Amino acid sequence: MTFAALSEIRSGLTALSEQGLLRQRRMLQSAQDARVHVDGRELLSFCSNDYLGLANHPALAAAVAQALPEMGVGAGASHLITGHHTAHHAFETKFAEFVGLPDALLFSTGYMANLAVVTALVGREGEVFGDKLNHASLNDAALLSRAKFSRYAHNDLAALERLMAASTARSKLVLVDAVFSMDGDVADLPALLALCEAHDAWLLVDDAHGFGVLGAGGRGSLAHFGLQSPRIIYMATLGKAAGVAGAVVAAEHDVITWLLQKARTYIYTTATPPLLSAALLASLQVIAGADDRRTHLRELVMQLRDGLQAQGWELLDSATPIQPVIIGSNEATLAISSALLEQGILVPAIRPPTVPVNSARLRITLSAAHSAADVALLLNAMGNA
């Protein structure tokens, strides 16, 4: 008997393969670091979001080892039942203090945090405004909220202002990546906040790629621009520069209390393992004192950009650890990524739908764990490619 739905899936997979869009997982067989063991090989990796090199930091590992006998492995319940551990609460308190906001709430992932905030703040009578290059989680959150969803061209704040001025929605919310994950550029948060003030709107800042890297002491994009406002809801993920896992939302105390009542992705899921919060507390201490790592990271960015520009590669305007090299076609991008792999260097090929059609790219991400010699090896391999 023919199973039509399964046949359709098989046809779809064949089509993806023919278009150079079929994705496969690699098998990591070591701790995350500049050099990793993947699929049985030792490779120099420019793939991870471990911007400060904390994913394998001894202080974080020691915090987990110390917490394990007391806290165990799992939380065992949702936060609103019996899963909210003192370690969770201590991290929320310390994070809010660290970024200079009144209160904070811990989530299992950044995706869940964005879904929570958007669906709790707006509904059918609201309108959500989003940059077209925002992360998928922000787009999905807007759709799930059932609010009107209006998107504007990347960084086109004049278009955003027109949309906001024309809106008659009861509540308005602007969504933005502080650092855009596939382009590496930084959003104009002061101008966005000014628009929100002019049109009585919330501003949700997704600082997944800015927290730990930007701002004094790594306090993120708000600190980078010196911004404070009760309109801002700040979201930081904790599996990138922080080196652990999860996400946290910081905002006015009443906003956090509202999320505690209404955020479905917080209420209806088991809390994260408490020992991860112990690691995160250690991570905040390391981040605060990591100016040398951030300086080193900036130097690596300049070294890479200077070298790639000298070789004639097409770069985007990014001063962050995310350095995209635009290739264009899926096939050419995959071929160059494979050529680098043959030289022992791991750089991912990013293709549609993650990025727009005909803008496939190599996405090089730098870490403070890299050395100048590592970047020189990459540049040599890129020249060969």
Same domain? For 278 and 296 the reply is no
Q: Pick the closest to residue 335 from 324, 322, 351 (CA basis).
A: 351
Place of tokens 């994705």: 23
Residue type, 365: T
Which pLDDT value is given to residue 102?
A: 98
Last residue of a domain, one of 273, 288, 303: 288
CATH classification of the domain holding 147:
3.40.640.10
Q: What are phi and psi of 254, to 5 degrees?
A: -65, -35
CB 279 within 8 A of CB 57: no
Same domain? For 202 and 302 the reply is no
Owning domain of residue 375: 26-52+290-384
Q: Rounded distance, CA 356 to CA 49, Å?
A: 21
| Band (15; pLDDT cuts 50, 70, 90) | very high
The reply to whether 150 falls in a domain is yes
Q: Rounded distance, CA 144 to CA 269, Å?
A: 18
Annotated binding-site positions: 23, 110-111, 135, 181, 209, 237, 354
Q: Is 44 left (phi over 0), alpha (psi -120 to 50) or beta?
A: beta
Lowest mean pLDDT among 177-181, 312-316, 350-354: 350-354
Same domain? For 228 and 333 the reply is no
Place of tokens 């979001």: 49
Judged against a pLDDT cut of 90, whether residue 336 lies above it is answered with: yes
CATH classification of the domain holding 312:
3.90.1150.10
Same domain? For 282 and 345 the reply is no
Judged against a pLDDT cut of 80, whether residue 323 lies above it is answered with: yes
Which pLDDT value is given to residue 6?
A: 95
Catalytic residues: 181, 209, 240
CB 179 within 8 A of CB 212: no
Q: Rounded distance, CA 57 to CA 40, Å?
A: 23
The reply to whether 314 falls in a domain is yes
Mean pLDDT score, 351-372: 95
Q: Rounded distance, CA 3 to CA 385, Å?
A: 45
Query: Chain-wide mean pLDDT for the chain?
Result: 97
Annotated binding-site positions for pyridoxal 5'-phosphate: 110-111, 181, 209, 237
Q: Alpha-carbon Rg of the chain, whole angstroms?
A: 21
Same domain? For 298 and 220 the reply is no
The reply to whether 3 falls in a domain is no
The reply to whether 334 falls in a domain is yes
Same domain? For 112 and 38 the reply is no
Q: Rounded distance, CA 329 to CA 314, Å?
A: 13
The reply to whether 171 falls in a domain is yes
The reply to whether 13 falls in a domain is no
Same domain? For 195 and 336 the reply is no
Same domain? For 308 and 372 the reply is yes
Same domain? For 143 and 156 the reply is yes
Encode 80-127 in three state secondary structure: HHHHCCHHHHHHHHHHHHHHCCCEEEEECCHHHHHHHHHHHHCCCCEE
Judged against a pLDDT cut of 80, whether residue 95 lies above it is answered with: yes
- Kindly report the number of other CB atoms within 10 A of residue 385's CB atom: 18
Which pLDDT value is given to residue 221?
A: 98
As for how many domains the chain has, the answer is 2
pTM for the structure as a whole: 0.95
Mean pLDDT score, 162-186: 97
Place of tokens 């890297």: 213
The reply to whether 11 falls in a domain is no
First-to-last C-alpha distance (Å) of the chain = 49
258-291 pLDDT, tens digit per residue, is 999 999 999 999 999 999 999 999 999 999 999 9
Q: Rounded distance, CA 79 to CA 85, Å?
A: 8
Element (H, E) at 175: strand 171-177
The rounded percent of the chain whose pLDDT value lies above 90 is 97
Mean pLDDT score, 295-301: 98
Which pLDDT value is given to residue 19?
A: 87
Q: Is the omega angle on the peptide bond into residue 352 within 30 degrees of 0, that is, cis? A: no
Same domain? For 86 and 207 the reply is yes
| Band (1; pLDDT cuts 50, 70, 90) | confident
Q: Rounded distance, CA 364 to CA 239, Å?
A: 18
- CA–CA distances in Å: residue 243 to residues 31, 225, 366: 11, 24, 14
Q: The tokens of 30 are what? A: 């070591």
The reply to whether 10 falls in a domain is no
Same domain? For 69 and 156 the reply is yes
Last residue of a domain, one of 263, 288, 313: 288
Element (H, E) at 347: none
Mean pLDDT score, 27-56: 96
Mean pLDDT score, 143-158: 98
Q: The tokens of 15 are what? A: 């089509």
Strand partners for 233: 204
194-244 pLDDT, tens digit per residue, is 999 999 999 999 999 999 999 999 999 999 999 999 999 999 999 999 999
Judged against a pLDDT cut of 80, whether residue 297 lies above it is answered with: yes
Q: Pick the closest to residue 98 from 278, 285, 282 (CA basis).
A: 285
Same domain? For 361 and 265 the reply is no
Q: The tokens of 252 are what? A: 């006015």
Order of all β-strands in the sheet with 322-328: 314-315, 322-328, 360-365, 349-350
Mean pLDDT score, 134-157: 98
| Band (385; pLDDT cuts 50, 70, 90) | confident
Last residue of a domain, one of 288, 308, 342: 288
| Band (20; pLDDT cuts 50, 70, 90) | confident
Q: Rounded distance, CA 103 to CA 97, Å?
A: 8
Which pLDDT value is given to residue 288?
A: 98
Q: The tokens of 188 are what? A: 């104009």
